[in-house]
Amino acid sequence: MELYNLTIHELHEKLQKKEITSLQLTEAFLKRIEAVDGKIKAYITVTKEDSIKQAKEADKRLASGKDITPLTGVPISVKDIFCTNGVRTTCASKILNNFVPPYDAAVIKKLKDAGAVILGKNNMDEFAMGSSTENSAYFVTKNPWDVERVPGGSSGGSAASVAAGECTASIGTDTGGSIRQPASCCGIVGLKPTYGRVSRYGMIAFASSLDQAGPMTKDVTDCAIMMNTMAGYDPQDSTSIDAPVPDYTKALTKDVKGLKIGIPKEYFIKGLDSDVEKAVKDAIEVLKKQGASVVDISLPHTDYAIAVYYLVATAEASSNLARFDGVKFGHRAKDSKNLLDMYCKTRDEGFGPEVKRRIMLGTYSLSAGYYDAYYKKASQVRTLIKRDFEEVFKKCGVILTPTAPTPAFKIGEKTADPLTMYLSDIFTISCNLAGIPGLSLPCGFTKDNLPIGLQILGKPLDEETVLKTAYSYEQATEWHKKRAGVEN
Ligand code: GLN
C-alpha cells in the first residue's frame, strides 16, 4: 500500500525500524497534498516549513531512541478551529482571516509534545456551524469518495484529508455531531469523547457546554493511540474532568462476550436510508456472533433533541461570538463613523449567513421575556434527555445506532433549507446534550459506493467499552481497509 494510505500504527513501525524517516514521510505527504488538494480542498493552510522542521526534530528523537511515542514523526492535520502558535487560525471565517494566535491549544501542545508533525489546518464550516463544510467562508471541501458530494461537517476538511490520504490522521471538534457525521460520510473512524475528557483550552468556542475535541482516524487502533495523547485533565479548562487517563490501546481486545448492546427504537425511523439501515442491522449481527447480546431500549425524549440543541447551542454561540467585534483581534471594518458603527460593520462583513442566523436565534432565546420559555425550558428538557441515557445504561453497556440517516449528500442539495440540513445530525446530537462518548466507524457502503457509519454510544468516561466494541466489529470486517482511491 502507498505510504499515504497507511495508519499511525503501521507508520510507527516503519519509523521505528528505520525503513523511513519522518522527513521523507512528511515530504511525501506534502507532495500528496500538492497533487490532490486542488480536487479535494481539505486544507485552508498547509504549514510546509513548520512541518519539515517538526519532522527533523522527530527524526532526532527517533534516532536517540528516547521518549518515542506512537505519534513521533507521524504527519497529521488539525481542524482550523484549534489555535496554533504563529500559524493563521481562521475557524473558516472571514472575521478571523488574519488571526495568528500567540499560543497553542492544549491538544495541539500535547500532539506536538508527543512528536506528531502537523501538516496544516483543515477546512470546516464557519465556527463549526454546519453539517457539510459548505458554510466555510473560503471554499467547499469535496468528499473523496465522490467529489460531487459533501464530506459532512463541520469537521469536513479533517475527515476528507484522512480519507484522501492527505495526512495519517486528524483532529476535529464535535458540538452536535461534527466529528462523527463527517467520519461517517468519509468512511473513517471518529470519536467524540466524554464532555470534559479532552481540554477545550485554545479551541475556538461554539457552544461551550457541548464542544469536545476528538480524533479522526483510519482505524480504531489509531483512534485509541490519539486518545492516549489527547485526553487528560487541564486546569486551564474549568470543565475538564480530573480523572486518570487509561491506556486506551489496552481496550483493543475483541472480547465482547456478555456485552449488552442497546438498540433504541427511536433511531430506526422513517427517512432512514434503506442501505444504511441494512448495514447497521448487519453490524449488530456481527457483534452478536462474537458473543454480545442485544436489548431493545427506548430513549423517549429523542424527538426533542434537535429543538433543544438549536436553543442551547445558539444561545451559547451568541454569547461566545460576542468577542469578535473588531477590537482585540481579527478583521476590523474600515471607515466607520463611530465605535458602534465599527462593531456593526465588522460583524456584518466578517460573519457568514449561517453564523448570523445562529447569533440571532441565540440572542432571541436569551432575551428578557423569552428566556424562561426557550433557553430555560430547553435546559430542562436537556436534563430529561440525559436521564434517558442514565436509565438505559442500567440495562446495557453500549448503544448502537446509525451515525447519520443518509450517506453523504450532493453539494448544494440542502443549502437552501437550513432545517433539512439540521436533520443530518438527528442521531448524533443527543450524545452531546448528555455529555457521553460516541464513536462512528465504517460499517459498509451503499449501492453507489458511499461509506456508511455505525455509531457506538457509551457511558460517561467509558470510552474503553466503546473502543472495545468498535475494535471487535472492525477486526471481523474489511471496511476499514478500503480507501477512497483519490488519484495523484
Ligand atoms: N451540524 C451541527 C450544527 O450545525 C453540529 C455542528 C458541530 O458539531 N460543530 O450545529
Q: What are the tens digits of pLDDT across the range 122-157?
A: 999 999 999 999 999 999 999 999 999 999 999 999
Ligand 1 pocket, mutate which of 135, 173, 178 (most atoms under 8 A from CB): 178
155: which 3 cell numbers? 469537521
Q: Is residue 140 within 8 Å of 150, Cβ to Cβ?
A: yes
Task: Give the pLDDT of residue 341.
Answer: 97
The ligand 1 atom at the shortest distance from the C-alpha of residue 424 is 1
Name which of 122, 56, 115 is nearest 88 in CA terms.
Answer: 122
Task: Give the pLDDT of residue 140.
Answer: 98
Q: 41, 79, 142, 414: which one is catalytic?
A: 79
Calculate helix-pair angle for 22-40, 48-64, nearest 10 degrees.
150
Q: Name the band, by pLDDT with cuts 50, 70 and 90, for residue 271.
A: confident
**CA 75, CA 54: separation in Å to the nearest integer?**
9
**CA 459, CA 466: separation in Å to the nearest integer?**
9
Q: Is residue 83 within 8 Å of 58, Cβ to Cβ?
A: no
Mean pLDDT of 294-304: 97
Chain centroid, CA 324 distance in Å: 24
**CA 1, CA 484: separation in Å to the nearest integer?**
13
**CA 28, CA 289: separation in Å to the nearest integer?**
41
Start-to-end C-alpha separation, the chain: 14
Q: 77, 158, 161, 178: which one is catalytic?
A: 178
pTM, whole model, 2 decimals? 0.98
- pLDDT averaged over the chain? 97
Task: Give the pLDDT of residue 368.
Answer: 84
Task: Give the pLDDT of residue 428.
Answer: 98
| pLDDT greater than 90 at residue 418 | no
The secondary element (H helix, E strand) that includes residue 429 is helix 429-434
Name which of 42, 90, 463 is nearest 248 in CA terms.
Answer: 463
| pLDDT greater than 90 at residue 419 | no
Mean pLDDT of 280-295: 98
The residue assigned the cell 476499514 is 480
Mean pLDDT of 447-462: 98
| pLDDT greater than 90 at residue 386 | yes
| pLDDT greater than 90 at residue 42 | yes
Calculate helix-pair angle for 305-320, 377-392, nearest 10 degrees.
130
pLDDT digits (tens, 9 = 90+) for 17-40: 999 999 999 999 999 999 999 999
Distance 420 CA to ligand 1 centre (A): 13
With a pLDDT cut of 90, the percent of the chain lying above it is: 95
Residue owning the nearest CA to atom 10 of ligand 1:
129
Q: Name the band, by pLDDT with cuts 50, 70 and 90, for residue 291.
A: very high
Q: Name the band, by pLDDT with cuts 50, 70 and 90, for residue 488.
A: confident
**Any catalytic annotation for residue 154?**
yes
**Any catalytic annotation for residue 79?**
yes
CATH topology of domain 3-258+462-481: Amidase signature (AS) enzymes (3.90.1300)
Pocket of ligand 1 (CB under 6 A): 128-131, 154, 174-178, 206, 313, 425
Strand order in the sheet with 212-217: 43-46, 117-122, 75-79, 169-174, 212-217, 189-192, 438-445, 451-458, 398-402, 260-264, 293-297
Amino acid at 181: Q
Mean pLDDT of 272-293: 97
**CA 2, CA 438: separation in Å to the nearest integer?**
30
Task: Give the pLDDT of residue 423.
Answer: 87
* Cα–Cα distances in angstroms (integers) from residue 338 to residues 331, 341, 347, 365, in the given order: 16, 5, 14, 29
Mean pLDDT of 181-210: 98
**CA 216, CA 305: separation in Å to the nearest integer?**
24
CA atoms within 13 A on the CB side of 217: 23
Amino acid at 367: S
| pLDDT greater than 90 at residue 451 | yes
Name which of 57, 42, 77 is nearest 167 in CA terms.
Answer: 77
* 103 backbone φψ class: left, alpha, beta (φ>0; ψ -120 to 50): beta
Mean pLDDT of 291-303: 97
Task: Give the pLDDT of residue 59.
Answer: 98
